Chain A
């Protein structure tokens, strides 16, 4: 996962919360889909709810839209509880996964649907429709029927149909899922630009972590009805707070280790296939931990390294374009992925290598508790 760039890091978002979820629970029959989540969405931000299918992300979005009622908890829109408000009374609009364009209406009628309901003057409607279609680059297509359009075009109609109402929040439910990769990448950037230029709060639901990293101001990672972590794409990627987040976002190597005091008073991480010493203090001895290291942060060398005793056998190199992925098998059979620029001719398949990483690049997580320590924070404490 090299392209963890974000288009949006510089964007300023006001501190005001436009949506707040307070202890929101949603049950379907006996099945609790959303388990007491708390979430504040800031005005003007691009927030992505990211998680595997069935994690409750779409249900959360549908509760904000008003299609589902929360079983318990509160949903506040601009500080006002919207429990009693039907979808048509909420100042939010949705872009549906299936687009849900009205098949019996042409593009113009689809896009103007909301304005007609609001009884906007006819002249103003046609003005706003043509402006909106220009914005999504569909001008001239007013009279097309939905079934005469490509997936990408339908997508734009769906976005235009929602945005023309100038909603306080735009909810997008996996809107790019049905598009091919190239079109999806293009739409990601277009959506991001659209959001920036309009300044409307976007709440975007996806299971595609790359999409989330590319577009979001903040990402909410959900799993099994709970929020695992909320943070900027960089925080989520570089400092995952749970094993799930570390696994789900990008590729990662997870080493299971337990802490032991070495003879000289230093703390040593023992693993099945070796050990290493890392400068941390906040963990208890004998504690079981995970060490998560991204493939691009792992280094291999033929030389001995002072703090790392992890040896492995180079299995194979896989050329993946800009970089080379090297698979190394460790003593216990575990396979480690290392990506690096194309210099791996140095270590042909079959050679024995030593693996190490910079201490600040490894994230250490408690194996049981949710509380998590990040090695950077601890490194700073030690130096101070």
Chain B
């Protein structure tokens, strides 16, 4: 009896709370989103329970397609910039003396402890036309008229990079610090110059980190609607705001749900790819 308890029942009891949590707050909401995406919209918002493919069909309207493609493009830009900034950064951190490494990693983690909406508001204070930076530059007579920084596409890109850089750096750091230095030495020993060592040995062996970082940057970059809202303003629409709008002023729940499903599927596909590359990590 006791044995049966410890072998069969105990594990079930231990995973039960998590399972219940997952079912209540992840699985069921997903099912709801899936259902909403497959029914007809009610003109005043809300839905009519009648099977319909309109939500998905509407996604392919040219104005929505344009928004989706632009969102993918901005997310890609943000990811590439994060990678370009994050890789050397992570590389340098991993080569620091041990006592500085924890400090640097802590600096990267620090922004996580402050609500990101508040941090984005902080940028607004600094960067808007009558913001701190413009006022300073004008009082020093460097510029006559304020430089328009906020409410531009550049601001959105900047906000995304700012927000997501830690998500890129941490997996990169993990991957690079795992790289055995004797690999680099062996490559040099066999006649490879530093750039050649980087492309033939370091880059392939840190590829799992690059994949992980890119996916962890790209996926949120698609969905961070408040950055588009606050830094881009109403003029620029991204998939995040689009979804947000459909459940509000847009009053088209099935379209919002369909777009959400599209994002979820895209995420799952990328996670699947990552899992495949993850196997590579065992070898490194």
Contact = CB atoms under 8 A, between A and B. Distances in A.
Interface string B183-198: 1011111111100100
Contact of B284 (A98, A104, A117, A118): A104
B191 A88 contact: yes
B109 interface: no
A93 B190 contact: yes
Interface residues of A, number: 26
A93 B205 contact: no
B283 A86 contact: no
B205 A104 contact: yes
Contacts of A92: 189
B204 interface: yes
Contact of A103 (B185, B188, B193, B283): B283
Contact of B180 (A86, A98, A145, A147): A98
A113 B190 contact: yes
A161 to B, nearest CB: 7
A65 B184 CA distance: 13
A88 B193 contact: yes
Given A67-B185, A100-B183, A165 B205 contact: no
A96 interface: yes
Nearest to B207: A104
Contacts of A100: 180, 182-183, 185-186
Contacts of A94: 185-186, 189
A66 B188 CA distance: 9
Contact of A86 (B188, B196, B200): B188
B271 interface: no
Contacts of B284: 103-104
Given A103-B283, A103-B284, A104-B204, A118 B191 contact: yes
Interface string B68-83: 0000000000000000
25 contacts: A66-B188, A88-B188, A88-B191, A93-B189, A93-B190, A94-B185, A94-B189, A98-B180, A100-B180, A100-B186, A101-B186, A102-B187, A103-B205, A103-B284, A104-B205, A104-B283, A113-B187, A114-B191, A117-B192, A118-B191, A145-B283, A147-B283, A161-B190, A162-B189, A162-B190
Interface of A: 65-67, 86-88, 92-94, 96, 98, 100-104, 113-114, 117-118, 145-147, 161-162, 165
Given A102-B187, A114-B191, 7 more contacts: A87-B189, A93-B189, A96-B182, A98-B182, A113-B190, A113-B200, A117-B192
